[in-house]
Structure 1
Amino acid sequence: MSSQGFRLGPRLRYLAWRVRRIDLGSVVDRAREAARDHDKWTPAVAVDMLWSAGFRQVGFQDYVDYDFAILNKAERATYMTHPVSNEISQKYDHPDFRHIFQDKVEFDRRFSDLLRRDWMIVEAGNADAVRAFTESHGTIVTKEPVGQAGTGVHRYHAAEITDWTEFHTGLLARGELLIEEVIRQHADLAAVCPGTVNTTRVTAFFDGRKTHILAMAQKFGRGAVSDQMTFGGFYTMLDERGHAVGPGYDSHGHVHEKHPDSGFVIGDFQLPMIDEVIAFVDEVARVVPQVQYVGWDIVVTPDGPVLVEGNWGAGVYENKPSVTGIRTGHKPRYRAAIGF
Structure 2
Amino acid sequence: MPSHGLGLAPRLRYLAGRARRIDVGSVFARARESARDHGRWMPAVLVDMLWSAGFRQVGFQDYVDYDFAILNRAERETYMTHPVSNQLSQKYDHPDFRHIFQDKIEFDRVFSDFLRRDWMVVEPGNRDAVRAFVEGHGTVVTKEPVGQAGTGVHRYRASEVEDWDAFHRGLLERGELLIEEVIRQHADLAAVCPGTVNTTRVTAFFDGRQTHILAIAQKFGRGAVSDQMTFGGFYTMLDDDGKAVGPGYDSHGHVHERHPDSDFVIADFQLPMIEQVRTFVDEVARVVPQVQYVGWDIVVTPDGPVLVEGNWGAGVYENKPSVTGIRTGHKPRYRAAIGF
**TM-score band, normalised by shorter chain:** over 0.9
Q: Which amino acid aligns with 2:31?
A: A
Q: CA deviation at 1:4?
A: 7.3
Residues 71-82 of structure 1 mapped to structure 2, 5 A cutoff: 71-82=71-82
Separation in 1, partners of 2:6, 2:297: 27
Q: Which amino acid aligns with 1:145?
A: P
Q: CA RMSD in A?
A: 0.7
Q: CA deviation at 1:68?
A: 0.1
Separation in 2, partners of 1:241, 1:19: 40
Residues 221-260 of structure 1 mapped to structure 2, 5 A cutoff: 221-260=221-260
Separation in 1, partners of 2:274, 2:64: 31
The residue number in structure 1 matching 2:25 is 25
The residue number in structure 1 matching 2:124 is 124
Structure 2 unaligned spans of 5+: none
The residue number in structure 2 matching 1:292 is 292
1:175 matched to 2:175: yes
Q: CA deviation at 1:14?
A: 1.1
Separation in 2, partners of 1:100, 1:49: 36
Separation in 1, partners of 2:4, 2:27: 27
Separation in 1, partners of 2:6, 2:108: 32
Separation in 2, partners of 1:9, 1:33: 32
Separation in 2, partners of 1:317, 1:85: 11
Residues 301-320 of structure 1 mapped to structure 2, 5 A cutoff: 301-320=301-320
The residue number in structure 2 matching 1:204 is 204
Give TM-score, length-normalised by structure 2.
0.99
The range that moved more, 10-19 or 246-255, is 10-19
Q: Secondary structure at the match of 1:279?
A: helix
Q: CA deviation at 1:10?
A: 1.1
Q: Per-residue displacement from partner, 1:246-275 (whole Å, max 9, x unpaired)?
A: 000000000000000000000000000000
The residue number in structure 2 matching 1:39 is 39
The residue number in structure 2 matching 1:276 is 276
Q: Secondary structure at the match of 1:219?
A: strand
Structure 1 unaligned spans of 5+: none
Q: CA deviation at 1:6?
A: 1.3
Q: Per-residue displacement from partner, 1:101-136 (whole Å, max 9, x unpaired)?
A: 000000000000100000000000000000000000
Separation in 2, partners of 1:22, 1:128: 49
Q: CA deviation at 1:313?
A: 0.1
1:337 matched to 2:333: no
Separation in 2, partners of 1:6, 1:264: 42
Q: Which amino acid aligns with 2:254?
A: H
Task: Show structure 1 runs of 4+ deviating over 3 A.
Answer: none
1:92 matched to 2:92: yes
Q: State percent identity of aligned pairs.
A: 86
Q: Secondary structure at the match of 1:132?
A: helix
